[in-house]
Amino acid sequence: MSHHGGARHDHGNNPIASGRDAHSNEHTPLLPTTLIGNVAHEGESGRSGFHPRHFFHVLWLSSCTVSSWVNVLWPFVPIAIVLHFVTGAHLWIFATSYVAMVPAANMLGFAGQEFARKMPKVAGILIETTFGSIVEIILFIVLIAKHNVEEGNGDEGNLIPIIQAAILGSILTNLLLCLGLCFFFGGIRQQTEKFHAIVSEVGSGLLLVAAFGLLIPSAFYSALKSETVPSLDLRILHEKFTEGKLQNSVLRISQATSIVLIIAFFLYIWYCASSQHSLFDEVIEMDEHGDTDRAADMAKPKFTLTEAILAIVFSLICVTLLLIILVDKIEHVVESGVPDQFLGLILLPLVEKAAEHLTAVDEAWDGMINVALYHCLGPSIQTALFNGPLVVIVGWFLGKPMDLNFEIFMIALLVLSILVVGNFLRDGESNWLEGALLVIVYIIIAIAAWYYPDPDVATSNGLQVAAGNVTISVESLKKIQQLLGELGN
């Protein structure tokens, strides 16, 4: 197949291409009116229905060579499931299910990609990004469902700090590690890679808005925490603004902010799918025609629509089961010495984003830096505008106090990371040194997260009560209350 012999010149099958040729591209709908009627040529398999031999052959080839290598980890999936049901070796179960998540998430990402190829280009990338984020959404929902803090059990069962760390960790992993690796490997092969301003401008602008929305509850809490008093029955304290009232206000702000951020996400989807679709499409299409192994990719066998849907369903079942097992063992992993913040900020985002990262790095290596950039910024935007707020809404419906009150340490990491990435994106080109520096920043964050104390110890955004020039902690006031009670008796 020739290098340019793909779908984008088969104008009879591509409404976007034909719309562009007719100079009516701004009025041509991006999303197809039917799912099967507008199949892009590069997504056609030449077959229909389900053929087991072809199915497993396509699955083994996967989206790229690195993704294909990941398939050797499939034996870990049954091993993790069997260990979970027959043994009590918690750390082994966590380790095997952690490794097993990589091929399962890779299959989900690949199946989503095959399904997306049957759509017009930008719609396809949005669908593909959504399938990549399904793993994260399931993880967050499983975590919030398992969150359970009962009276008298201290901090045991409190998974909200891990969820909060995982939300920011997912954004940081995409912005620093994935983007850094894309710049690094793309720069090794291409020296300098230039990307279109529209992708970086829209991406970095949306990230700043998302960060603003995510950080408002934390800023509100930090500004007012010194004005509160503990909700203790002490006659010497008559202030009405108690810590309980502040926490309730932060929870309500988080819930309202989450609704607004989800609306912002749908506005972003609408923007990509309507008013600016031709510009995005041209940028991404230009990249695909510059793909160094485009001919090989076009010649690869494809899933049929039926096979793609079956692969999506099977991988979804595997991913959900493995995530339930993973979350079930989190307490044991924390007890073994792995800090909460490191688990949420580094370990969980790494495994649930592994497949996406492999795809993005392969695209950068093949010279498709705009598509790679879209795959780094797109999931970050979706996490900040949709996945994170969604878990707050789910917690609201489940009656669990999930809020967006992050640790000051986390806030600093997110803001600084967005600034660093924005600075590297500003000149419209990348090289391997910039990529290496982004990865180094990520490694520094991982080191700091390992030594960051658990939430019950860390008080960077904790409550304190100011009494004149003396600052009294909540714990101290509780001890005072206990002593007063003993004196009264």
Pair 155, 163: CB distance under 8 Å:
no
What Rg do the C-alpha atoms of the chain give, in angstroms? 25
**What pLDDT does 25 receive?**
45
Q: In 198-313, at which residue ranges do the beta strands (DSSP E only) sit?
A: none
Could you tell me the two tokens for 167? 């939300």
**C-alpha 435 chain-centroid distance:** 20
| SS3 state at 116 | helix
Pair 307, 55: CB distance under 8 Å:
yes
As a whole number, the mean pLDDT across the chain is 76
- Of 348, 289, 379, residue with least CA distance to 7: 289
Which residue has better confidence, 450 or 455?
Answer: 450
- Check whether 252 has a pLDDT greater than 50: yes
Which residue has better confidence, 150 or 162?
Answer: 162
**What pLDDT does 299 receive?**
63
Mean pLDDT highest for which of 219-233, 361-375, 408-422, 453-467? 408-422
- Check whether 11 has a pLDDT greater than 60: no
**What pLDDT does 95 receive?**
92
- Of 233, 173, 156, 183, residue with least CA distance to 383: 173
Pair 20, 278: CB distance under 8 Å:
yes
Whole-angstrom CA distances from 58 to 52, 288, 292, 299, 332 are: 10, 21, 21, 12, 38
**What pLDDT does 169 receive?**
92
| SS3 state at 429 | strand
pLDDT digits (tens, 9 = 90+) for 419-431: 888 888 887 788 8
**What pLDDT does 446 receive?**
93
- Check whether 440 has a pLDDT greater than 90: yes
pLDDT (mean) for 393-406 = 90
Which residue has better confidence, 61 or 341?
Answer: 341
pLDDT (mean) for 103-120 = 81
Pair 40, 13: CB distance under 8 Å:
yes
Could you tell me the two tokens for 93? 């179960």
**What pLDDT does 188 receive?**
87
Q: Please tell me the distance from the alpha carbon of residue 456 to that of residue 85, in angstroms, as a whole number.
A: 32
Instruction: Considering only the C-alpha atoms of the chain, give the largest distance between any 2 of them, rounded to a whole number of Å.
Output: 91
Quickly count: other Cβ atoms within 10 Å of residue 237's Cβ. Answer: 14
pLDDT digits (tens, 9 = 90+) for 23-54: 444 444 444 434 444 444 455 555 666 667 77
Architecture of domain 52-149+157-227+242-456: Up-down Bundle (1.20)
**What pLDDT does 291 receive?**
57
DSSP assignment of 16-81: HHHHHHTT-GGGS-SS-SSTTTT--GGG--S--S--HHHHHHHHHH-SSHHHHHHGGGTTHHHHHH
